[in-house]
Amino acid sequence: MSKWIRFRRQNSETEELGKLLDDVEFENQRVAVCSGELFNGAEPTDEVLPVSDLVLLTPCWPGKMIGLWKNVRSAAEKQGLTIPEEPLYFLKPNNCFLPHLGEIRRPDYYDGRIIYEGELGVVIGKTCRNVSVQEASGYIFGYTCVNDVTALTLIDKDPSFPQWCRAKSMDTFGAFGPSITTDIDVTQLRVQTLYRGKLRQDYPISDLIFSPQQIVSLLSQDMTLLAGDLIACGTGEGVLPIKPGNTIEVCIEGLDTLSNMMAVD
């Protein structure tokens, strides 16, 4: 298992790559500064820095972020929704990407509900097109935590055109990180979301209608997936509106916890 981050040093604009060294809480870890590219043979150097001294970035910069809807069986059944025969998904552009500890910001004009959605994120490691389910694991670089933030009121604002892209693509609405964990079996793990320190979401990854491997395979029939692309696997029950000054934590055992706060207006 390896864990990777991207960062800048204080008072520097240079983006760097690092490999975490310790099995302790994320903020107390050390990172080996790496040379090379994340998806193409990155290697640790002799330089080691404390994570607490760094400005954290998202652990990769996806060309596209794909979010699944209605992919947790228990949530779909509780809402009386049919089980889909194929993945239902939307895209989130790169303007919405937000790193660990970044602030979620409400658009000035929007006064409707903004909700969190804690999810498992799948990071693609190499060009992927028309792959089978059996081949899909070879194209998954690793996993990360995702908060798929949504301006819920906008989706059905116009009855003639559900605005999924708009509702999910505003600046800061695509939080993920803080690291990418490789070589981990996530099938028996759970996604837990804490809001204001209280557990609000708690669902097993085994409850996904389409597993990470099935998602990668089926999406690769529609579009070419590229190294760094991120797939958010869908969320379970327990989403709530986020209020200013409150913190959301997305926790998956074995992955580093993602934490973000809603900015105070």
Query: Total domain count for the chain?
Result: 2
Coil, helix or strand at residue 77: helix
**Residue 149: which CATH number?**
3.90.850.10
Same domain, 143 and 98: yes
Same domain, 222 and 107: yes
Same domain, 13 and 109: no
Residues 122-131: tens digit of each pLDDT: 999 999 999 9
Q: Confidence band (pLDDT; 50, 70, 90) for 23?
A: confident
Contact 237/81 with Cβ under 8 angstroms? no
Same domain, 69 and 51: no
Residues 204-237: tens digit of each pLDDT: 999 999 999 999 999 999 999 999 999 999 999 9
Same domain, 52 and 81: no
Same domain, 153 and 209: yes
Average pLDDT over every residue of 161-169: 96
Residue 55's DSSP bridge partners are 8
Confidence at residue 81, expressed as pLDDT on a 0 to 100 scale:
87
Range of the domain at 93: 65-262
Same domain, 126 and 209: yes
> CB neighbours of 180 closer than 8 A, spacing ≥ 6?
3, 4, 5, 38, 59, 60, 123, 141, 142, 143, 144
pTM: 0.96
Same domain, 134 and 28: no
Domain end: 35, 56, 77, which one? 56
Same domain, 37 and 118: no
Same domain, 38 and 78: no
Residues 100-135: tens digit of each pLDDT: 999 999 999 999 999 999 999 999 999 999 999 999
Q: Which of 180, 57, 197 is nearest to 120 (CA)?
A: 180
> CB neighbours of 245 closer than 8 A, spacing ≥ 6?
261, 262, 264
What's the chain's Rg over C-alpha atoms?
Answer: 18
